[in-house]
Structure 1
Amino acid sequence: YKSQRKARRVRGDERTRRRGQEWRNEQRKPGRQKKRTETQKLKQRQKERQERTKKKKTEDKQETESRGERQKGRDRERFKRRRPEEKRTKTEAEGRE
């Protein structure tokens, strides 16, 4: 009787050990790996997209800033080139009329 119990206990341990191994193998199955890699790829893609948008935003910002500077320069040039009658201030023009 005692030996039977012992045998059963040993067999039980083996069974649980085997179950654990099966579980580990299940975890190692290619499908699961695939799933994991897909999520990693997705995260990677999201990160890349984020970086691209951030880069684009900074580029756009710089572009608008430089455009503003160019516009200022153009305005300055235009102001310098104005004809003498345009250069008179508003009050002077009103005073003449």
Structure 2
Amino acid sequence: MATFFLSRHPGAVEWARRQGLAVDQWLAHLEVAQVQPGDTVIGTLPIHLAAQVCARGGRYLHLSLDLPVELRGRELTADELERAGARLEEFWVESESGAGLDLT
């Protein structure tokens, strides 16, 4: 079983290192096909990719923040992430249809 930390943001990587997380691979991009049952993916995945991780038997831990509007849209430092309440929350995501829904 492997643990992947997924982020292209240096502040998020530094925050994770400060938490002492046991990470096997630090990635800027995840190929979902590499996730095996029992693996853990940590990051801020789009919902459809989080669902794919879960469908493959992986765990998804989301890096959640309570981000004030003035901090949105820019790179954050590890200290700013801490002040924004950075934390890991486990989610189980499942696609209802397994494919796109026809909303017409």
Q: TM-score range by the shorter chain?
A: under 0.3
Q: TM-score, normalised by structure 1?
A: 0.15
Q: Which has the higher contact order (CA 8 A, sep 6+)?
A: 2
Q: TM-score, normalised by structure 2?
A: 0.15
Is the radius of gyration larger for structure 1 or structure 2? Answer: 1
